[in-house]
């Protein structure tokens, strides 16, 4: 029997899934529905770490090769704490790519295997898709994949079906771009007029950078951002981070100031609907992994479908069993990471080396031992001497 699969959302998760399914199971009928026009998206550049790219390469070398051709690579990052800074040199190079370019490449790779996404086609409860358990009109899809991001309509269509846990954070942020490759990549933490402000920026092409600006909840009201327009907030960021922007202005693309809503679905599937990517859990931007988690979900769902011999409930159970441990691990790391940022004013009351160490180890996934491999120079200059001092003190006590 030919499987009929509807994928809602042509983000990285939906496009990669469509490509994989059509490539390895060409007899499957796959449709991708995307609400936006072909060349529209939010944001600027995103990062894709080396391990994630290598994993893509194992299953689809063409995807890895084409993405890497369009990426810029960098293995350094400055941590700036007011007037002090430290340059971290990582063992592996992080890759960054323009989000629109990433989507264009994936879309082309879909077309090459025979899937053409249907743009400007929003799926909602009135759509021509059958979702079991809901009043529905026409349609006969065996599987509906919610790859429709943080505000998933597939999730909403199922009511409480996916049992969401939702938490709105106190910090406020906006995603900007800069028309220049800022160098080095940096995370800047700055006191300014009684508030604390953060800029996270990195180059993603030879002449463009992503620039995420953030402030904590107290700063938002204390410095009057709550009463400003987005244009005034942008001007304020340009003033605070003028040393880093070197005369550049911040560019906007749906760059609205907002609070991040952390969301996790307890149920992975409901009837014949299943979630992948941000629809399943929104990865906070401070861990820079949302795109790869979305693509890893797509890969796991593909593998489960490829091995299920048409038994979709079995495939959905296999997909969840495969991905849940990783999802839960990352959810814990995400919470630790955003809580670190939520308490940034307290964290900033130290010297830059201690602050950088605190930043690097904030999620608990990197400890001193792993730091030795991950950021060897930082380990040598700042961690090893401290460990030696602590061992000497311990030795004297013993
Ligand atoms: C400020 C910021 C910085 C980030 N930086 C990084 C980074 O450096 N690295 C990284 O890996 N990730 C980053 N992310 C996260 C990353 O963008 C997401 O995790 C990733 O895009 C998730 O992919 P997705 O395919 O699940 O969802 P999305 O990319 O959100 O795609 C969902 C698609 O579904 C479409 N859609 C939604 N509803 C419907 C509907 N009803 N009908 C049809 N179509 C619909 C949307 O238009 C969209 O195209 C960042 C996010 C933010 C907010």
Q: What is the mean pLDDT of each run of 10 residues along the chain (398 residues)?
A: 90 98 96 91 86 90 95 95 96 91 97 95 76 49 94 85 92 97 96 97 96 98 98 98 96 96 95 94 90 95 94 96 94 95 97 96 91 93 89 74
The whole-number pLDDT of residue 161 equals: 76
The whole-number pLDDT of residue 310 equals: 87
The whole-number pLDDT of residue 74 equals: 92
364: left (phi over 0), alpha (psi -120 to 50) or beta: left
Closest protein CA for atom 29 of ligand 1? 11
C-alpha distances out from residue 75 to 3, 69, 72, 147, 223, Å: 44, 17, 10, 31, 35
Is the C-beta atom of 98 inside 6 A of ligand 1? no
**Rg of the Cα trace of the chain?**
22
The whole-number pLDDT of residue 134 equals: 44
The whole-number pLDDT of residue 128 equals: 66
Is the C-beta atom of 45 inside 6 A of ligand 1? no
C-alpha distances out from residue 351 to 201, 345, 355, 362, Å: 21, 13, 6, 16
The C-alpha atoms of residue 151 and residue 335 are separated, in whole angstroms, by 19
Q: Taking Cα atoms as reference points, which of 311, 275, 279, 4 lies closest to residue 138?
A: 4
Largest CA distance in the chain: 78
Is the C-beta atom of 107 inside 6 A of ligand 1? no
The whole-number pLDDT of residue 386 equals: 86
Instruction: Please tell me the distance between residue 153's alpha carbon and the centre of ligand 1 in angstroms.
Output: 13
The C-alpha atoms of residue 76 and residue 325 are separated, in whole angstroms, by 31
Mutate which of 278, 300, 301 for ligand 1? The one with the most ligand atoms within 8 Å of its CB, which is 278
Q: Taking Cα atoms as reference points, which of 200, 198, 205 lies closest to residue 219?
A: 198
Indicate which atom in ligand 1 lies nearest the CA of residue 14.
25
List domains and CATH numbers for the chain: 4-72+95-167+260-340 (3.50.50.60), 170-259 (3.30.9.20), 352-397 (no CATH)
The whole-number pLDDT of residue 398 equals: 61
> Taking the chain, what is the end-to-end CA distance rounded to the nearest angstrom?
72
């Amino acid at each position: 029997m030919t499987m009929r699969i509807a994928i809602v959302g042509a983000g990285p998760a939906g496009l990669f899934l469509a490509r994989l399914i059509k490539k390895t199971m060409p007899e499957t009928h796959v449709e991708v529905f995307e609400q936006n026009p072909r060349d529209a998206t939010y944001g600027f550049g995103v990062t894709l770490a080396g391990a994630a790219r290598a994993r893509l390469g194992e299953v689809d070398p063409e995807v890895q090769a084409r993405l890497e051709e369009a990426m810029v690579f960098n293995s350094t990052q400055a941590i700036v704490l007011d007037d002090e800074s430290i340059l971290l040199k990582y063992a592996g190079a992080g890759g960054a790519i323009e989000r629109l370019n990433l989507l264009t490449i994936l879309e082309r790779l879909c077309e090459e295997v025979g899937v053409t996404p249907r743009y400007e086609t929003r799926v909602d409860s009135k759509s021509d898709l059958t979702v079991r358990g809901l009043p529905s009109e026409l349609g006969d899809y065996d599987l509906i994949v919610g790859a429709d991001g943080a505000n998933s309509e597939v999730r909403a269509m199922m009511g409480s079906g996916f049992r969401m846990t939702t938490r709105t954070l106190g910090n406020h942020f906006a995603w900007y771009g800069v028309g220049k490759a800022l160098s080095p990549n940096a995370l800047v933490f700055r006191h300014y007029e009684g508030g604390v402000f953060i800029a996270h920026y990195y180059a993603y092409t030879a002449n463009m950078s992503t620039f995420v600006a953030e402030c904590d909840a107290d700063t938002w009201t204390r410095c009057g951002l709550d009463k400003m327009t987005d244009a005034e907030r942008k001007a304020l960021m340009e003033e605070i981070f003028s040393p880093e922007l070197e005369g550049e202005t911040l560019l906007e693309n749906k760059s609205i100031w907002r609070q991040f809503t952390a969301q996790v679905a307890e149920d992975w599937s409901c009837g014949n609907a299943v979630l992948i990517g941000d629809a399943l859990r929104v990865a906070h931007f401070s861990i820079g992994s949302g795109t790869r988690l979305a693509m890893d979900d797509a890969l796991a769902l593909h593998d489960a479908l490829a091995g299920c011999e048409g038994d979709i409930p079995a495939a959905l159970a296999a997909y969840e069993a495969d991905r849940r441990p990783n999802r839960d691990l990352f959810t814990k790391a995400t919470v630790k990471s955003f809580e670190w940022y939520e308490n940034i004013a307290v964290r900033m009351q130290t010297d830059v080396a201690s602050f950088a160490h605190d930043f690097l180890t904030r999620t608990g996934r990197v400890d001193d031992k792993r730091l030795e491999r991950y950021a060897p120079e930082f380990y040598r200059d700042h961690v090893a001497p401290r460990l030696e001092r602590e061992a000497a003190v311990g030795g004297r006590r013993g």
